[in-house]
Amino acid sequence: MPIDPPIAFNSLLNANEVFLKSYPVRIFGDVNASGIAQYAIENRGNSFRPGSKLGTHRFHATESFNIRATAAGLHAVGSHIFNAHSIHMDMGINAMEFYRLDNTGPNIMVTGQLSGCAFVINPADGNNLDVSHIKPIGTTGAILAATLTGNHPNAFVYGATAGHGFYDSSDRVVSIIGIRDAGGAWRIYAQKHDAVSGDYRIRSVYRIYPNHTKL
């Protein structure tokens, strides 16, 4: 029996690390400027997740979900509608703008799928974070990530670059999801998907902020 979208959303909010290790989530972002926007979560159908013991050497069948901005009107009937902090994909470094995640508004943040892009997390005062999603324009994803790291030395830059926990944009795409806990602190996750299998199976999941760690 497929998981109902409201139940899936509740699990994402309240058991986020277990959910993200179990179910692929593909995100279709809002084309409008960063801000609070309406999204929908819908059941996407069958996919796969790594095994708890053998990892990607033995995949297990699971369900998958889409999260879509409702502004496009493409979400399925029966989707669960919710509000989220929506981070716009800025077209290159010159267009980059930070968005403040604080203790106001929804307790979930989403952005469009990364496929060569970088995501910047800059700690601000208290539990607040300034975040940005940047697409490489006229450069590679690796050079973009390196440039952003140099430009923002106090920030964590997650990008298409070599290194443990990051992603190879030739065969991986990434969903970035943020969850604010009851104490007001944000946790940011990267769920890496196989970009060539057609089912967006999970390859790995990392908590990229705080304390970049594989789950």
pTM (two decimals): 0.95
Q: Which residues of 99-131 are buried (b: 16+ CB within 10 A; e: fewer)?
A: bebbeeebbbbbbbbbbbbbbbbbeeeeebbbb
Residue type, 155: A
Pairing of strands 202-209, 172-180: unpaired
State the average pLDDT over residues 118-140: 96
Please provide residue 68's backbone torsions phi and psi, each rounded to the nearest 5 degrees. -125, 140
Q: What percent of the chain has pLDDT over 90?
A: 86
Mean confidence (pLDDT) of the chain: 94
Domain tally, the chain = 1
CA dihedral 97, 100, 106, 108 (to 10 degrees): 70
Band (92; pLDDT cuts 50, 70, 90) = very high
Q: Is the pLDDT of residue 196 over 70?
A: yes
- The range of the structural domain enclosing residue 134 comes to 5-214
Q: Is the pLDDT of residue 27 over 90?
A: yes
* Number of CB atoms found within 10 A of residue 94's CB: 8
Pairing of strands 172-180, 108-111: antiparallel
